[in-house]
Structure 1
Amino acid sequence: MSSNASANLSRSETTARSAALTLRRAHVELDLRRAPDAAATTFGTTTTLEFDADLERGGATWVDFIGESIESVTLNGVDVPVQYDGARIQVAGLAASNSLTIVARGVYSRSGEGMHRFVDPVDGETYLYTQYEPADSRRVMACFEQPDMKARFTFTVHAPAGWQVLSNQSSVSSTSSTESGESGHATVGTTEPRTASAATQTVEFAPTLPLSSYITAIVAGPYHRVDAEWTRGGQTIPLGVLCRASLAEHLDADEIIEVTQQGLGFFTDAFDYAYPWGKYDQVFVPEYNLGAMENPGLVTFTEKYVFRGASTEAQHEGRASTILHEMAHMWFGDLVTMRWWDDLWLKESFADYMGSLATAEATRFSDAWVTFANRRKAWAYTQDQLPTTHPIVADIVDLEAAKLNFDGITYAKGAAVLKQLVAFVGRDAFFEGARRYFRAHAFGNTTLDDLLVQLEETSGRDVRAWSRAWLETTGVSTLDIETDADGRRVVTQSVAPGEQPRPHRLAVTAYDFTDSMQLERTDSVELDISSDRTALSLAAAPLTLLNDGDLTYAKVRLDDRSLTTVEGFLDRLTDPLARGIVWSALWNATRDGVLPAARYLTIARSFAPLETNVGLLGSVLANAAFAIEHYVADDERTAQRRMWLDICWNTVFMSRPGSGEQLAWARATASAATVDDAHAADIAAMLDGSGRIPDGLALDADLRWMLLTALTATGHATAAEADAELQRDNTASGVTAHVKALASRPEAEVKDAAWRSAWTDTRLTNDHLDATIDGFRAGGRRDMIAEYDAEYFDRIRLAWQTRSIEIARRLVLGLFPASESLEPVDAWLTDNVDAPAALVRLVTEQRDHLARDLRVREVQ
């Protein structure tokens, strides 16, 4: 086991290493032949690193690796002693030019970090994939684990015959062999004999163009594959879409390929830089921790994007946006990479912005900016109001901090601010700056200034002043309209204490009723706002909407007249983006305690059933359920739960049969029914076929599990019924849902077993850990789980020390007690000032969420 100290690389030490060493090439050989054998927990890995050393800076360094063991270290042809602490291999005696070979054993992962191994319960087949960001390539190969040490990587993989074996580049050779009996050691880092006949293959891949270690990738297993291609101007890019064999019937490869082709055309034109990575494989993999990862030439996605049942248009739009987000990374992040994680925004903010832009302009999902305004920015607003908020250009001192900065600031706020930047410099200047940036820094590493130089040259604007105001500050502005006694109106800007007002370019629009009683634009003005008060020369109207078109990043308030209008006529606002901004304003006011939660819920019950944009509908449904559990006063919660469940249940039957809206309401019904059992008998009858099923509703496996979990959480279904459902759906998703359903039962011994399992059962996969935690908390039964609050605070520090950061993070966030007092968490923070900074950050954020809950409830 590695120590936290040695595993947690710091910015200062990696900066010194890259200054002293110049990495040229890396050859990695992996032996995955025994992967189907459950008893084989490790794999052989051999890495040869070729690099130059500046001997004036010293003749020693370290190489990163987290695995079971190091078998040998050879420097310039000479075996040297192994000095390994579980995370770092110390190497001394460097020459000016070096070849370093490290033979080691890696460990198969069940946490989604490093080389993840999954066995499909449907057919028993084994599937492997790698996931590295920000620093888990060292779990698979010995490497220099930092983004500014790029190399040309060559991979050789030994694997079972018949498997798809993929890497960033295409294969250049594949040879087959059959081994039988005691064949001795494999060629790389293998000490156990192979004891059975096995057909194997050895696949060698072409060298990559210069890459950072965290975006290299390996995928191996009997994946189902669909091939296509994209051609433009003499360039032909082979395309592959892959998933597990048991999911092949659900893979809508045609739509995925269409979006991929549209995206390649859009970005090639926008960036005027041909796609550089040769091929474009996209693999949907099981038990994935992320939505997707931009490994050049081999993008990996969560299997949740393979819709095995009914799906809404919003789900398809979300998948398209993710596909295009990852594709944008082929330029922003892969071709040009940030030097260190401080500038993570240089890839994630741009990819989030570009993904939405390409989705809206190149695909059929033209309302992508509606979803962005209402959902992605909500994530940013939430994150940016925490005490741990940080500038978009962050101060990332080490890898633990980097891991936690894949957040709403880096992604969604950064993308929203880029949308404002485009408005500030002009679209043509923005894209010309990006083109120059790619040409100047292709295959290299950059910082903030490298991009600003290009944008200033193309736009002639003071981009550095803009950067200081937007990229290097924290917090979210709130824009409101004030009217004085003489009817004069001003737009006010309030900011967090200690912050200065930001420059905003935005539109303010008046909406009035037409003869048919629709709310449509009647007048609009564009404003440049840079102070706390800006005159507004726009006549009053039934609805005055700040930030119409969603050009800037700010919370907006509705004035009293506008609020009254939307309370009665929100469905008459025909523009979905305008409705999205209104829904966002209502939700932010609710979170801030400005709009009572009960009033928000009345609006949601009135107008969510009339919402025609299924993406907006999904956000409203989620927000309403959240408001009931977090912001409604305790003595009102039972009544609000019942009213919400009734609306959900009734709307399922009233919705257009087979529509996305109907499916969204059905899912909301299942969620509402986990905390209120008024329709338990109806749901049970629906599941066993004796009751009424809404016309057109696809009662598929995923929806059945959601409804059954509602019954188990309220005590209306047994373990035997959950077992029977698993027999109907003995798939990976079914097994995970079964874990959650069993843990959701409102029985003391069940909750205790789930609690113990989450903390102590290291055999739980990442997905099964989440299911256990979700089941433990299902039903909102504080009366059953409050007794574990004190133990939570006793456990979290040890969990952080002994579990991987991904698993520890899930435990710390998922099991944080939703108590009625801040005293326990305040006591922990006081007593643990020396705890790891990343752990303190997570606890501090959870404390702030709880404090907001308690504060908002008090003002109801």
Structure 2
Amino acid sequence: MPALHRTEAQARARLLDVHRYDIHLDLTQGEGTFGSRTVIHFRSHEAGDTFVEITPATLHTVTLDGRPLDPAALDGNRLPLALTAGDHELCLDATMRYSRTGEGMHRFTDPEDGRVYVYTQCGPSDAPRVFAAFDQPDLKAVFDLSVTAPEDWTVLANGITEHLGNGHWKAAPTPPLPTYLVALAAGPWHSVRTEHAGLPFGIHCRRSLAPHLDPDADEILDLTRRCYDRYHQIFDEPYPFDSYDQAFVPEFNWGAMENPGLVTFRDEFIYRSAVTATERQTRGMVIAHEMAHMWFGDLVTFRWWDDIWLNESFAEYMGYQVLAEATSFDGTWTDFALTRKGWGYDADQRPSTHPVAPAPDDVPDTAAAMLNFDGISYAKGASALRQLVHWMGEKDFLAGINDHFARHRFANATLADFIDSLARATDRDVHTWAERWLRTTGVDTLTPVIGDTEDGGWTLHIDHTGSPDGTRPHRLTVGLYDQHPADPGRLVPRKPLTWDLPSPKLSTPPPLSTAVERGDPHAQGGAPTGHPATPGRRPALLLLNDQDLTYAKVRLDAASWDTALAALSGLPDALTRAVVWNAARDMVRDGELAPTAYLDAARAHLPHETDLALVQGVLTFARTQIADRYLPPSERGTALATLTALTRDILRRTEGPAHGTSTGLRLTAVRAFIDSATTPEALRDWLDGGSVPGGPDLDPELRWRILARLATLGALTPDTIDAELARDPSATGEQGAARCRAALPDPAAKQAAWHALFTTDNDAALSNHLFTATAQGFWQPEQDDLLRDYVPRYFAEAPALATHRGPALADAAGRYAFPTTHITTTTLRLGETCLADGNPPPALRRKLIDQLDDLRRALTVRGA
């Protein structure tokens, strides 16, 4: 199907005003298809030709102002329209296909009880898979939806729904919305409902997940109410819709989607097994993130997809900030530093990088728009906004935001509109700030250069590289720490410096010591000059970007790095420790720190770490990147042994009376031990006993994790997998079994998994989540010899699969099915040939570019 081009959208927006959609969906037509009738009321400003989009199984009838049009005129997903000036009514009746890829109208049968659920995912270009539409974000309209469904189903939509009897449902008309935000979720939902601030609130999930939702319902609803109230404290515009439902839906491709009044979440957020407090915090952040979209994205919508960052960066920033302000989760920015910041840094150093706010010509169509839902639009953009708030002040920032909402409510806006609203609220030069932060690419690197003076003082310069001409401004905190005189393993903070880069033009730069005493915001600019020395000795540890308030890679001078290696866990603040760990991570990736040195630091300090996000983030990087990718195969066993020894230390630390207050640390260590085990004996003992000695008991997640590792090690039979699936016949059980079968080091098992992944037979094709699980199990570093012949097959077969199954599966094929374990120049050469000659579709092409760049980096690190 052709992607909508920006110039086509602009022409259609000039021609049309769309007023209302009357949509009726019939969900009683069988397993494969549903009925869709759309009536669009719109006005054409002048006579002209345009088109409406629809992607049917069969287009039955079309009428324009009561006059029949030929359904055979449908070309791909476009039906041409010749319009006269004036008001029009376009009516289309069609049969549509359900999806198994999470796009359009996804249909899912719960293997646990046989119940069926459907839900929509319409953005950025999948609304025409559900109803006929002028499918672009700047043609907002009122949506009036009715549905026929099985009698035992509940229908949820953007507005409050009413059951009229006999399976008929009617949703309240919406305020003006873009087509990509239209939402429906239907099935025999388990629901928990309440009321808050005069509005109905609800949370919904599959019936089989009810025993897992109910214990968490109070927590989810309390977080929802607290975030709602906090947004009403900081936003002048009240919540703009008539209800707030949150549906946890199966096989969802993303974390969640901000449909007005009906937010859809992946139902993995309904926890079937034990999770850590940090994972609960992540769920809370997603709730806060999606609620922020009700204003930024839903009330005020971007005009074209080049401004998707206005949605995602804002919601990402507000999600972490509001959760910290409104709830008991106060470690949000440490989690952001460890789990999101690296996502942005990595994306920004690849050939596929793009500005946070790309130029319109750089997002020429909706296919290109899909590629920008990445670490730049989310993590880098949120980091830029956090830096902006630090630079201009929260009061002025929120005043600008509220001005933006007031000027563009229920309409569309651009980056220029947003910056103009900010400029109205501050005397800061936000236009120049935006040009240097939002229109440029790449990560700055900040390096301290510390000197000693003859009188015992010290000087500091900051080397600032990365952004064009070093002009991207940073306001950062410089942390200064001394070793505790009685305990060198503890670090004591001095008063920090606040630093502006590049330096403001001051006629006489103040001495560094004076700046510290006054808290001067312009204490020091960048290289090449520094300020006079402070009296007294230099700090044992100097840390640029302490508290992580800007977006930049930072380096440590040699003396500070020695201090960090000796006393990292003795830093008093978790966010400070996160900045140091991120610096070490970046140095490994840039070939400036040996991967084994990172492992040594983890071995020394993680047993003493108390912050869960830090433990999880460091262990994940050490296991998935250092052990699996950055070290040569000959050193991998030693790395895994280091990780298992480390996790045993954490387990010993959390035994006995301390266990009750350290359950998250203990669970994190158990997971890492399982994933790093090189022999099956301990895992079999745990599985046979049903628990880890000293706890925890093995819940379904831990059992499937152990089985997956045993499968990889060749210590599992297919009969054992079948028996476990009989014990856990859930959707996650099906995925666990698929992952285990694909991980078996058996030629027949590998061939069966490969066929399941790459078949283009629609009846046999895997759903999106089963595809991901199978791909995750397939490639294992322990099985290089067995898998070597599949590497060229991947590059030969992936383009056809991606073309046949669409963008969501193309993304999954590039993300999960890529041979990441084969770090060789042969893999690199095959991938480059595929890019040049294999004609991969855009979603797969983007993933291949990223994967191959990561492969080059891994080869470089190994070489270094």
TM-score, L = length of structure 1: 0.92
Which residue of the partner structure matches residue 181 of structure 1? none
Question: Is 2:317 the counterpart of 1:353?
Answer: yes
Question: Is 2:828 the counterpart of 1:830?
Answer: no
The alpha-carbon deviation at position 831 of structure 1 amounts to 3.1
Which residue of the partner structure matches residue 521 of structure 2? none
SS at match of 2:62: strand
Which residue of the partner structure matches residue 506 of structure 2? none
Question: Is 2:574 the counterpart of 1:576?
Answer: yes
The alpha-carbon deviation at position 562 of structure 1 amounts to 1.5
SS at match of 1:389: coil
Q: 1:118 to 1:587 in 2, by over 3 A?
A: same
Which residue of the partner structure matches residue 43 of structure 1? 34
Which residue of the partner structure matches residue 190 of structure 1? none
SS at match of 1:283: strand
The alpha-carbon deviation at position 228 of structure 1 amounts to 1.4
Provide the rounded CA distance (Å) in 2 between the counterparts of 1:695 and 1:466. 54
Task: Give matches, 1:683-762, under 5 Å.
Answer: 683-689=683-689, 693-760=692-759, 762=762
SS at match of 1:369: helix
The alpha-carbon deviation at position 316 of structure 1 amounts to 0.7
Which residue of the partner structure matches residue 226 of structure 2? 262
Provide the rounded CA distance (Å) in 2 between the counterparts of 1:426 and 1:216. 36
The alpha-carbon deviation at position 654 of structure 1 amounts to 3.7
Question: Is 2:210 the counterpart of 1:245?
Answer: no
For residue 775 of structure 2, the aligned residue among 773, 776, 785 is 773
Question: Is 2:178 the counterpart of 1:176?
Answer: no
Question: Is 2:363 the counterpart of 1:396?
Answer: yes
- Contact 1:501 / 1:532 at 8 angstroms: preserved in 2? no
- Count matched residues: 813
Question: Is 2:264 the counterpart of 1:300?
Answer: yes
Provide the rounded CA distance (Å) in 2 between the counterparts of 1:534 and 1:18. 53
1:628-680 CA-to-partner distances (Å, cap 9, x unmatched) read 1111133322221222233334533442435101101111122213xx22xx1
For residue 56 of structure 2, the aligned residue among 48, 67, 72 is 67
1:761-796 CA-to-partner distances (Å, cap 9, x unmatched) read 543110100111111113542211121122222223
For residue 373 of structure 2, the aligned residue among 398, 406, 413 is 406
SS at match of 2:351: coil
1:737-776 CA-to-partner distances (Å, cap 9, x unmatched) read 0111111100112112211210115431101001111111
Provide the rounded CA distance (Å) in 1 between the counterparts of 2:845 and 2:803. 13
- Contact 1:360 / 1:368 at 8 angstroms: preserved in 2? yes
- Contact 1:284 / 1:300 at 8 angstroms: preserved in 2? yes
Which residue of the partner structure matches residue 671 of structure 2? 667
Provide the rounded CA distance (Å) in 2 between the counterparts of 1:835 and 1:634. 31
1:100-142 CA-to-partner distances (Å, cap 9, x unmatched) read 0011111111111111111111211111111122111111111
For residue 15 of structure 2, the aligned residue among 20, 45, 67 is 20
1:9-64 CA-to-partner distances (Å, cap 9, x unmatched) read 11111111111111010111000124xx5xx30000011111111225x1x21111
Which residue of the partner structure matches residue 400 of structure 2? 433
Which residue of the partner structure matches residue 178 of structure 2? 212
- Contact 2:823 / 2:859 at 8 angstroms: preserved in 1? no
Provide the rounded CA distance (Å) in 2 between the counterparts of 1:259 and 1:857. 45
- Contact 1:305 / 1:319 at 8 angstroms: preserved in 2? yes
Provide the rounded CA distance (Å) in 1 between the counterparts of 2:527 and 2:856. 28
- Contact 1:259 / 1:363 at 8 angstroms: preserved in 2? yes
1:367-411 CA-to-partner distances (Å, cap 9, x unmatched) read 111111222111100100001100001221111111111000000
Task: Give matches, 1:139-178, under 5 Å.
Answer: 139-171=129-161, 173-177=162-166
The alpha-carbon deviation at position 533 of structure 1 amounts to 4.1
Provide the rounded CA distance (Å) in 2 between the counterparts of 1:710 and 1:66. 42
The alpha-carbon deviation at position 812 of structure 1 amounts to 2.4
**Counterpart amino acid of residue 765 in structure 1:** S
Which residue of the partner structure matches residue 852 of structure 2? 847
- Contact 1:153 / 1:211 at 8 angstroms: preserved in 2? yes
SS at match of 1:550: coil
Which residue of the partner structure matches residue 642 of structure 1? 641
Provide the rounded CA distance (Å) in 1 between the counterparts of 2:720 and 2:367. 42
1:292-339 CA-to-partner distances (Å, cap 9, x unmatched) read 000010001111111111110001100000000000000000000000
- Contact 2:300 / 2:410 at 8 angstroms: preserved in 1? yes
- Contact 1:586 / 1:595 at 8 angstroms: preserved in 2? yes
Provide the rounded CA distance (Å) in 2 between the counterparts of 1:47 and 1:583. 54
Which residue of the partner structure matches residue 344 of structure 2? 380
Provide the rounded CA distance (Å) in 2 between the counterparts of 1:726 and 1:854. 39
SS at match of 1:52: strand
Question: Is 2:122 the counterpart of 1:132?
Answer: yes
Provide the rounded CA distance (Å) in 2 between the counterparts of 1:837 and 1:158. 37
1:568-605 CA-to-partner distances (Å, cap 9, x unmatched) read 11111121111111111111111111110000001111
- Contact 2:44 / 2:83 at 8 angstroms: preserved in 1? no
Question: Is 2:455 the counterpart of 1:449?
Answer: no
The alpha-carbon deviation at position 682 of structure 1 amounts to 1.6
Q: 1:108 to 1:837 in 2, by over 3 A?
A: closer
- Contact 1:744 / 1:779 at 8 angstroms: preserved in 2? no
Provide the rounded CA distance (Å) in 2 between the counterparts of 1:609 and 1:415. 31
Provide the rounded CA distance (Å) in 1 between the counterparts of 2:86 and 2:757. 50
For residue 814 of structure 1, the aligned residue among 813, 816, 822 is 816
Which residue of the partner structure matches residue 490 of structure 1? 461
Question: Is 2:220 the counterpart of 1:229?
Answer: no
Question: Is 2:284 the counterpart of 1:323?
Answer: no
The alpha-carbon deviation at position 535 of structure 1 amounts to 2.5
1:399-425 CA-to-partner distances (Å, cap 9, x unmatched) read 111111100000000000001111121
The alpha-carbon deviation at position 718 of structure 1 amounts to 0.5
Deviates more, 1:604-613 or 1:733-742: 604-613
Which residue of the partner structure matches residue 28 of structure 2? 33
For residue 105 of structure 2, the aligned residue among 102, 107, 115 is 115
Provide the rounded CA distance (Å) in 2 between the counterparts of 1:314 and 1:591. 25
**Counterpart amino acid of residue 830 in structure 1:** A
Instruction: Note the aligned Cα RMSD (angstroms).
Output: 1.7
Q: Percent identity?
A: 40
Which residue of the partner structure matches residue 514 of structure 2? none
Question: Is 2:277 the counterpart of 1:313?
Answer: yes
- Contact 2:443 / 2:551 at 8 angstroms: preserved in 1? yes
Which residue of the partner structure matches residue 616 of structure 2? 618
Provide the rounded CA distance (Å) in 2 between the counterparts of 1:266 and 1:734. 38
1:215-270 CA-to-partner distances (Å, cap 9, x unmatched) read 11001111111111222xxxx12110111111111111100111111111111111
Provide the rounded CA distance (Å) in 2 between the counterparts of 1:533 and 1:389. 29
**Structure 1 residues without counterparts, runs of 5 or longer:** 178-200
Provide the rounded CA distance (Å) in 1 between the counterparts of 2:652 and 2:310. 47
Deviates more, 1:86-95 or 1:555-564: 86-95
Question: Is 2:482 the counterpart of 1:512?
Answer: yes
Provide the rounded CA distance (Å) in 1 between the counterparts of 2:693 and 2:486. 32
1:504-534 CA-to-partner distances (Å, cap 9, x unmatched) read 0011010113355331311211011125546
**Counterpart amino acid of residue 64 in structure 1:** E
- Contact 1:480 / 1:493 at 8 angstroms: preserved in 2? yes
- Contact 1:342 / 1:396 at 8 angstroms: preserved in 2? yes
**Counterpart amino acid of residue 771 in structure 1:** A
Provide the rounded CA distance (Å) in 1 between the counterparts of 2:401 and 2:634. 55
- Contact 1:493 / 1:533 at 8 angstroms: preserved in 2? no
Provide the rounded CA distance (Å) in 2 between the counterparts of 1:638 and 1:355. 40
For residue 556 of structure 2, the aligned residue among 555, 558, 564 is 558
Which residue of the partner structure matches residue 601 of structure 1? 599
- Contact 1:50 / 1:99 at 8 angstroms: preserved in 2? yes
- Contact 2:834 / 2:840 at 8 angstroms: preserved in 1? no
The alpha-carbon deviation at position 841 of structure 1 amounts to 2.8
**Counterpart amino acid of residue 610 in structure 1:** H
Which residue of the partner structure matches residue 522 of structure 2? none
Question: Is 2:298 the counterpart of 1:334?
Answer: yes
**Counterpart amino acid of residue 772 in structure 2:** D
SS at match of 2:128: helix
The alpha-carbon deviation at position 730 of structure 1 amounts to 1.0
Provide the rounded CA distance (Å) in 1 between the counterparts of 2:225 and 2:528. 47
Provide the rounded CA distance (Å) in 2 between the counterparts of 1:532 and 1:134. 44
Which residue of the partner structure matches residue 802 of structure 1? 804
The alpha-carbon deviation at position 500 of structure 1 amounts to 3.7
Deviates more, 1:112-121 or 1:534-543: 534-543
